[in-house]
Amino acid sequence: MRRILGIVAVICLSFIMSSCTEKHTVLSPNGKLELTVLNRDGKVFYELRKEGKLILSESRLGLLLKDQGDLSENFIIQNTDEFTFRNTWSQPWGEVKNIEEYYNGLTVSLLQKSNEKERQLNITFKLFDDGLGFRYEFPEQENLKKFVITDELTQFNFTHDFNTWWIPAYSDQIDYEELYTETKLSALEKTMHTPVTMESGDSLFVSIHEAALVDYAAMTLKPVEGALSLECDLVPLSTGEKVMTEAPSVSPWRTIQVGNSAGDLITSYLILNLNEPSKIEDTSWISTGKYAGIWWGMHVKTQTWNQGPIHGAKTENVKELIDFAAENNLKGVLVEGWNKGWEKDWSLGRFRFAEPYDDFDIEFLSKYASEKGVSLIGHHETGGNILNYETQLKEAFEFLKKYKIPAVKTGYVANLINQKEFHQSQFAVNHYNYVTAFAAENKIMLDIHEPVKATGLRRTYPNLMTREGARGTEYEAWSEGNPPEHTVILPFTRCLAGPLDYTPGIFDINIKTRSDNKVHTTLAKQLALYVTIYSPWQMAADLPENYTGQPAFQFIRDVPTNWEDTKVLNAKIGDYITVVRKDRDSDDWYLGSVTDEHEREFEISLDFLMPEKKYKAYVYADQEDTDLMNNPTAIEISETEVTSDQKLNISLAAGGGQAIRFKLLN
């Protein structure tokens, strides 16, 4: 009898416990990903499965508020709404032309009853075949108007001890300009910027990031000691708050991209799909291209930003660059150090954005560039003083329009914005987005350096072309440099967020003017980076004299910056990657293959080419006697005819690469 009563008690307890849990499940369009949303005892969680196996176990959702009671418990699910959306949209420019936006969605409407007050919080989930996006939504309501978010409870509780690639969120280095570290998920100790990319074996790849970062603090990820778990940690304001907002409003999307291979992450467009369609109806003024510039000379100490004996932005120097660009299929010339303010302590941000130095004749150069079919690219370095910049913004953009300058590179070289705010804080996010919208109104394209991180807003504002937000080529000129693995980690981490202005194309690998510094690649790898690291504006970064008499420069002349399609042929994070891209304006394809400090050999299929067609392959390869330390500029250039049913052998030197143009012949 006692045994029977015990069984009945267990059954009753199980019933009571289950009655406190409400579940709702959604499948991705292909049925391989499964999302479950749970309300257990008034707290909300989510789970994610791939082909029936847990990737993320019960992970908490909710928010912490200041002085208004948290939005974290005492919830009941008031309503659920399931929906499906399928659409194909076209990018005006990008790594592919057409993108399918196909997901199954679920909105969970939560009602919180606390202290006799009722408040509403909605959480919307969109489950794609390549991952999940979800966000918090705050409807207009009587009991939640203006409020302060002190943090999110958003968790990512993993079931695998992933290999994880990450950079720290808070350090003495300029924001985001760090080398990536590979660590086991269980061994992580520091708060990290996103994207954070993870690998388990050779068939499960995950990246955590966010989409549509607007009027909110950026999300960093904090590891939980003793657990395979990451928690959202919003970047604070200098006053300690994280987000100051009012209903109705929404958070950014928290994104979880999932793939069977490392290459699947690169060809996932989930982050773009979670952004709003373009707010710019007429995009005819937006274009892509390659540019030269007054830039590398300052880093190798042959020129200066400020006025003086070796001032880079002199009229005669810029004129020569315009001639060089016109002769070599480069559409733009970037000019840094043209304006007053560099002669002072420029880190204080006292620049004037419509006052050229007297040795920079903007009237002449604007007319000369136009006659040559070349565009000047402006430069607005703020030194992180955005109050100074915003005060002059209208005047600065009128100056750009007056002198027919269609694009501007902005800079925020400072550890803190206005000497007190993080680059990823809500305050800075709102500034960057304000400048983007203002530039769109004035038909100006943007290249942002020291930026807020990319979150796919280029879909909404296609004038938001490219940005830095990474440790770029300039570090090769005055530091220990970027190790060879750096450029085979970036495509799977930083570049998942959006285009990167890495500034490749250095031919003077051993840097004649700086004997203690060198570029940690071969010449062939510098060419391949134009394909493996995507940017709609790519710089031919070296000094023009270093391209003179170099047959390899032909690849830079030829390679497009706007693509119809992108495919990843092979990839291993931190080791190697081979990418092919189809030109949007022709039937030509371009290949880039790069490796870390180890030499590699691959056999690749050419089945991406059109069948029954012949192509001329122009191959730029490492010579047998080269690597990144020995004879790094030795390059072998060859031509051969190929068809789609062939295979091609690729040999990469240590620190090397290979670039190929496949030109359609018939």
pLDDT of residue 344: 77
Instruction: Give the pLDDT confidence of 329-357 residue by residue, as tens digits.
Output: 999 999 999 999 998 777 777 999 999 99
Predicted pLDDT at 18: 41
User: In the annotation, is 51 catalytic?
Assistant: no
What pLDDT, in 10s, does the model give residues 90-120?
Answer: 999 999 999 999 999 999 999 998 777 899 9
What pLDDT is attached to residue 349?
77
The better pLDDT of the pair 348, 203 is held by 203
Report the residue count for the chain.
666
For residue 5, the model assigns a pLDDT of: 42
Q: What is the pLDDT of residues 134-193, one digit of tens each?
A: 999 999 999 999 999 999 999 999 999 999 999 999 988 889 999 999 999 999 999 999
In sequence order, the 6+-apart residues with CB closer than 8 A to the CB of 312 are 294, 297, 298, 303, 304, 305, 336, 337
Answer whether residue 9 shows pLDDT above 50.
Answer: no
pLDDT at position 14 over 50 = no
- Asked whether the beta carbons of 290 and 275 are under 8 A apart, the reply is no
Pairwise pLDDT comparison (322 vs 9), residue with the higher score? 322
Residue 584: per-residue pLDDT:
98
Instruction: Map out the domains of the chain with their CATH numbers.
Output: 21-273 (2.70.98.10), 279-469 (3.20.20.70), 504-666 (3.20.20.70)
Number of neighbouring beta carbons within 10 Å of residue 240: 9
In the predicted model, is pLDDT for residue 427 greater than 50? yes
pLDDT value of residue 2: 44
* pLDDT tens digits along 474-506: 999 999 999 999 999 999 999 999 999 999 999
Parallel/antiparallel/unpaired status of strands 155-158 and 181-184: unpaired
- Residue range 399-426: mean pLDDT, rounded: 97
Residues 581, 566: Cα–Cα separation, whole Å: 4
In angstroms, the CA 150 to CA 240 distance is: 8
pLDDT 10s digits, 641-657? 999 999 999 999 999 99
Confidence of residue 1 (pLDDT cuts 50, 70, 90): very low
Determine which one of 474, 476, 485, 564 is catalytic: 474
Average pLDDT of 600-622?
98
Query: 361 exposed, middle or buried (CB, 10 Å; 0-12, 13-18, 19+)?
Result: middle
Confidence check: pLDDT of 3 > 50? no
Rounded Cα gap, residues 523 and 158, in angstroms: 41
User: Would the pLDDT of 550 be above 60?
Assistant: yes
**Residue 297 carries which DSSP code?**
H
Beta pairing, strands 243-246 & 249-250: unpaired
| Residue 390 pLDDT exceeds 70 | yes
Q: What is the pLDDT of residue 20?
A: 75
pLDDT at residue 6, rounded to an integer: 44
The residue type of 34 is E
pLDDT at 4 over 50: no
- Concatenating the DSSP letter of every residue in 549-613 gives T-TTHHHHHH--S-EEEEEEEEEETTTEEEEEEEETTSS-EEEEEEESSS-EEEEEE-TTSPTT-
Contacts of 208 (CB under 8 A, 6+ apart): 156, 194, 195, 196, 198, 221, 230, 254, 255, 256
* Pairing state between β 537-539 and 289-294: parallel
Q: Look over the chain and give the mean of its residue pLDDT values, rounded to a whole number.
A: 95
